[in-house]
């Protein structure tokens, strides 16, 4: 891991990182490949989706959708112990989102009513990454808040296995949540299929993480379909003082590092942790099955920062704006209250981010790449629209109508002014 000493040097590093992210051009190769896929699916429909699936995944299927019998057979193969664990996770996540305020509001102003209606989206697509392992947790972390929001149609897409089927664990979650449809399709073609309704039901919004091609497809299709974010590689910043156990700090860094492209970062006031945690992280990473990926993340993107005090550490944390902020400090709540920019907070020595990945409650789909400065984790609101309403009575119209007309005329919009004044003249 790279080492940085001093708050000022760390802030300069954060600024350089952010500037690089802002100025980074999208890979021309990725953008062009994705544009080709999107155009192909738009013009060719389901046959194009299936052709891209064969081309990119080496899998030939007759349809994009997985039939119900196949889905239920896969779900039945999930071992009972794992099934119980998944059920427990879903229950915790659902309980968390059931507690989220989700209603509208109304203000009565004389004889008028002003407010907002909260309306669920009609149809949402949940993308579940494949890669080296099926990330079935991403399905319940997106589909559960969608169900709580009241979404009627939930469509799932995930890359097929070599035999053309979907992973049993993904099938189990899909069956348990009663999703509308499951497609054995991955990559950019999956996002395009859900956006255009090519072989799968068309959706209004696509959510969920994915690789560079999935992210680029979401970017290019935004407007044709809604998206929740453009997710990049995952990142964790551990803020620790001398009360933290170096083994625990290292374990949290390694847990993040085993994702490809991850950024594991330590910010600490302790010279001991600054020296020991990176060494222990290397040792721990070398001993796990995902050692190659974890060691690459630690060595290529890992950073260990030594700051003068916790105030400096909080400043660095806010400048970095991490997806996950782990507060392994003696008195974490005063620190937590000073955090402005983080996708999620994991407060205290016994609160590891890995717990949040599976069943703590909040969705693990959180903003990355510094976007926690202006965006939030996936919540019920991501699956709802807020529609304002106005009911103006004669009293309100008499009180503010001429003011509205004056404002309209100041902008050169006489038709607007007359629309208001015509009602006043009828009185």
By three-state DSSP, how is residue 210 classified? coil
Residues 202 and 311 both lie in one domain: no
**Which DSSP letter does residue 351 get?**
-
Say what the pLDDT of residue 23 is. Answer: 58
Active-site residue identified among 235, 263, 315, 324: 324
Say what the pLDDT of residue 427 is. Answer: 46
**Residue 22 forms part of a structural domain:** no
Contact 155, 143 (CB under 8 A): no
Domain count, the chain: 3
- State the DSSP string of 319-383: HH--SEEEEESSSHHHHHTT--S-SEEEESTT--HHHHHHTSSS-S----TTGGGT-----GGGG
Say what the pLDDT of residue 19 is. Answer: 83
Contact 363, 142 (CB under 8 A): yes
Say what the pLDDT of residue 133 is. Answer: 76
Residue 230 neighbours by CB under 8 Å, 6+ apart: 215, 218, 219, 371
Say what the pLDDT of residue 103 is. Answer: 87
**Residue 387 forms part of a structural domain:** no
Q: What is the pLDDT of residues 58-71, one digit of tens each?
A: 999 999 999 999 99
Residues 188 and 281 both lie in one domain: no
Residue span of the structural domain in which 272 resides: 233-374
Contact 48, 40 (CB under 8 A): yes
Residues 170 and 248 both lie in one domain: no
By three-state DSSP, how is residue 54 classified? helix
Residues 287 and 207 both lie in one domain: no
Residues 353 and 416 both lie in one domain: no
Q: What is the pLDDT of residues 332-390, one digit of tens each?
A: 999 999 999 999 999 999 999 999 999 999 999 999 999 999 999 999 999 999 999 99
Q: Given 3-state DSSP classes, what are the helix, strand and coil percentages for the chain, each rounded to the nearest 5?
A: 50, 15, 35
Residues 204 and 350 both lie in one domain: no
- Is 263 noted as a catalytic residue in this protein? no
Residues 214 and 256 both lie in one domain: no
Indicate which CATH number applies to the domain containing 191. Answer: 3.40.50.1980
Say what the pLDDT of residue 168 is. Answer: 96
The residue written with tokens 């976007």 in the block is 371
**Domain-terminating residue out of 227, 257, 285:** 227
Q: The whole model's pTM is what?
A: 0.92
| CA-to-CA separations, 235 to 81, 261, 367, in angstroms, rounded | 30, 9, 10
Say what the pLDDT of residue 409 is. Answer: 97
Residues 237 and 223 both lie in one domain: no
Residues 325 and 416 both lie in one domain: no
Tell me the pLDDT of the chain (427 aa) as tens digits. Answer: 999 999 999 999 999 988 887 655 456 889 999 999 999 999 999 999 999 999 999 999 999 999 999 999 999 999 999 999 999 999 999 999 999 987 899 999 889 999 999 999 999 999 999 877 789 999 999 999 999 999 999 999 999 999 999 999 999 999 999 999 999 999 999 999 999 999 999 999 999 999 999 999 999 999 999 999 998 889 999 999 999 999 999 999 999 999 999 999 999 999 999 999 999 999 999 999 999 999 999 999 999 999 999 999 999 999 999 999 999 999 999 999 999 999 999 999 999 999 999 999 999 999 999 999 999 999 999 999 999 999 999 999 999 999 999 999 999 999 999 999 999 986 4
Dig out the tokens for 230 from the structure.
């453009």
Q: Count the neighbouring beta carbons within 10 Å of the beta carbon of residue 35.
A: 14
Residue 384 neighbours by CB under 8 Å, 6+ apart: 102, 118, 119, 120, 121, 149, 150
Length of the chain: 427
By three-state DSSP, how is residue 336 classified? helix
| CA-to-CA separations, 253 to 220, 263, 337, in angstroms, rounded | 33, 9, 23
**Residue 66 forms part of a structural domain:** yes
Active-site residue identified among 46, 216, 258, 323: 323
Residues 282 and 198 both lie in one domain: no
Residues 52 and 189 both lie in one domain: yes
- Is 315 noted as a catalytic residue in this protein? no
Residues 37 and 172 both lie in one domain: yes
Beta bridge partners of 239: 267, 327
């Amino acid at each position: 891991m790279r080492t940085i000493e001093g708050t000022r040097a760390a802030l300069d590093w954060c600024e350089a990182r952010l500037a690089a992210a802002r100025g980074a051009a999208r890979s021309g190769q990725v953008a062009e490949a994705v544009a080709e896929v999107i155009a192909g699916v738009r013009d060719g429909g389901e046959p194009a989706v299936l052709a891209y699936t064969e081309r990119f995944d080496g899998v030939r299927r007759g349809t994009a959708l997985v039939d119900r019998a196949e889905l239920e057979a896969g779900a039945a193969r999930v071992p009972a112990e794992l099934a119980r664990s998944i059920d427990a996770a879903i229950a915790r996540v659902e309980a968390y989102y059931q507690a989220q305020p989700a209603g509208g509001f109304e203000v009565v102003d004389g004889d008028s009513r002003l407010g907002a209606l909260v309306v669920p989206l009609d149809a949402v697509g949940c993308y579940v990454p494949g890669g080296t392992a099926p990330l079935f947790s991403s399905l319940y972390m997106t589909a559960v808040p969608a169900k709580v929001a009241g979404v009627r149609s939930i469509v799932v897409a995930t890359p097929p296995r070599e035999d053309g089927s979907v992973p049993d664990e993904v099938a189990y979650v899909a069956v348990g949540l009663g999703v509308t449809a499951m497609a054995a399709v991955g990559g950019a073609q999956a996002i395009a299929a859900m956006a255009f309704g090519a072989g799968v039901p068309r959706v209004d919004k696509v959510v969920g993480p994915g690789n560079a091609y999935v992210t680029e497809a979401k970017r290019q299709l935004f407007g044709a379909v809604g998206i929740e974010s453009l997710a990049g590689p995952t990142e964790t910043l551990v803020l620790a003082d001398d009360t933290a156990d170096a083994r625990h700090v290292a374990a949290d860094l390694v847990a993040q590092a085993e994702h490809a492209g991850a950024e594991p970062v330590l910010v600490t006031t302790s010279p001991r942790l600054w020296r020991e945690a990176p060494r222990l992280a290397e040792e721990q990473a070398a001993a796990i099955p995902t050692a190659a990926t974890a060691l690459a993340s630690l060595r290529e993107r890992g950073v260990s920062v030594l700051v003068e005090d916790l105030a400096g550490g909080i400043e660095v944390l806010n400048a970095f704006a991490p997806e996950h902020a782990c507060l392994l400090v003696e008195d974490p709540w005063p620190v937590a209250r000073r955090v402005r920019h983080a996708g999620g907070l994991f407060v205290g020595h016994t609160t590891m981010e890995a717990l949040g990945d599976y069943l703590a409650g909040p969705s693990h789909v959180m903003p990355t790449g510094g976007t926690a400065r202006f965006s939030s984790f996936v919540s019920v609101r991501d699956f709802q629209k807020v529609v304002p309403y106005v009911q103006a009575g004669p009293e309100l119209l008499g009180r503010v109508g001429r003011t509205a007309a004056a404002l309209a005329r100041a902008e050169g919009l006489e038709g607007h002014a007359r629309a208001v004044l015509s009602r006043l003249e009828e009185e």
